[in-house]
Structure 1
């Protein structure tokens, strides 16, 4: 298990987790016991649950790092324990996740680099604001989310980010969340427009976007505020048409 962990950590740093299976020691007849060490030990026992909760608490602001929206309430095996039992209780293979993402991911085992979803412990998206949105100026207004690759991303990493974004249907999930935020914020924005004018409303939205970026990086809320700030239609009174 210690050897497997070292191989996993090295593969994670190198972006080769999809190929680590061929290098791992064979668990043999111990496979079922290793899986039970997670199900019966880490999850079900009191002492094990303390460790489980420590790993779970690593999710920034309790948000699921796979979707950035749900509440992290469970641990997901980045490489499934059914396929890689020797990694069943390896901490680096246990990622906080919301129930929806955990269920969606299920026992998916990548066979190539392009199939590997993002690993929040190893994959660094850099300082690029890669998550962006555009406002469809209609009633009701809606936001469309998309990925803008960073200048420092290679082709393989770009494909992985895009696959992750598509696999978890993040464009749809973010758009649904944005629809609710647009509807609830429009009264406040209309009032600011009326009192202070379009320039101050745009500035308010830009500062809100910067706040989200500074605290949490790429978030659907930050991308929405940025897109609203860039919409001349919205800051000129489009919210009154919603």
Structure 2
């Protein structure tokens, strides 16, 4: 999960943007009540109790709640809606425009943390709208929690801390495939630990991140081969280790790339990897690519 700063605007700004005619928009006169709802939501989410939030909220009639839901569809998410600029800003608020759930794919839409169909009262509330990819959205759908441990991670309110919680094991097989797992951070209580593990399983992040890591390594394999073969004095493995460690540090600077940083750190710590483990089985494609690179360099030097 990517932790996000709180949105720079609240529900009152969204109401104002989505209201064309206050006399024909019942929710326009309920701004104060929706602000109270927003505060209640924030209090529960900050305390890890968002599962206690009720769809029926004081001061918000069923008619108003239905109109809030309508405003999301017609006024906020519609490409021609008056509030579309707010929608686009929220969709792109995660670093790199990535999905806040999986960290690895592009956020194509906004997801209602509390599903719109069951909680229409918060359908346009910015803190309930999260940037999400199509795949994660398809997994989550209208699911919501009924207990603390069932709660999805919430990027606006859950803080996992600076300690690396993604543990990566490097398999000593061709191309050094990786296994991603959750490792409990020292600042987590048991409830948060269960929530992170559940989040990891629900969205199949172990499989996804392993696949992404494989693609990432493929983009660097030729460079590793160069470090390995071109470093004099038999220092190739150490050169590969230094480069993998450098890449781990570089990727660690971006929150959406935490998984990549974890992968490169694991590869840098693997003696087997640094001695050529990045290669594919019967690595003819790599050998051919290296031969082409070396011949091109020789031609340029002549």
TM-score by length of 1: 0.94
Q: Is structure 2 residue 53 aligned with structure 1 residue 20?
A: yes
Unaligned segments of structure 2, at least 5 residues = 1-33, 282-302
Change (3 A) 1:21 1:77: same
Write the distance in 1 (CA, Å) between the matches of 2:215 and 2:167: 18
Instruction: For 1:74-89, list aligned pairs within 5 A.
Output: 74-89=109-124
State which structure, 1 or 2, has the greater radius of gyration over its C-alpha atoms: 2
User: Contact 2:176/2:273 (CA < 8 Å) preserved in 1?
Assistant: no
Q: Give the counterpart of 2:212 among 150, 156, 177.
A: 177
Q: Is structure 2 residue 198 aligned with structure 1 residue 198?
A: no
Match of 2:4? none
- 1:186-220 CA-to-partner distances (Å, cap 9, x unmatched) read 22111101222211211111111111112226622
User: Contact 1:81/1:87 (CA < 8 Å) preserved in 2?
Assistant: yes
Change (3 A) 1:22 1:48: closer
User: Contact 1:131/1:218 (CA < 8 Å) preserved in 2?
Assistant: no
- 1:98-151 CA-to-partner distances (Å, cap 9, x unmatched) read 111112111111111111011101111111111121111113431110111110
Shift of 1:241: 4.8
Q: Give the counterpart of 1:210 among 227, 244, 249.
A: 249
Unaligned segments of structure 1, at least 5 residues = none
Change (3 A) 1:101 1:215: same
Match of 2:71? 37
Q: Give the counterpart of 2:170 among 131, 135, 157.
A: 135
Instruction: For 1:103-118, list aligned pairs within 5 A.
Output: 103-118=138-153
Write the distance in 2 (CA, Å) between the matches of 1:240 and 1:139: 6
**Aligned residues, how many?**
242
Change (3 A) 1:46 1:29: closer
Q: Give the counterpart of 2:187 among 134, 141, 152.
A: 152
Q: Is structure 2 residue 156 aligned with structure 1 residue 126?
A: no
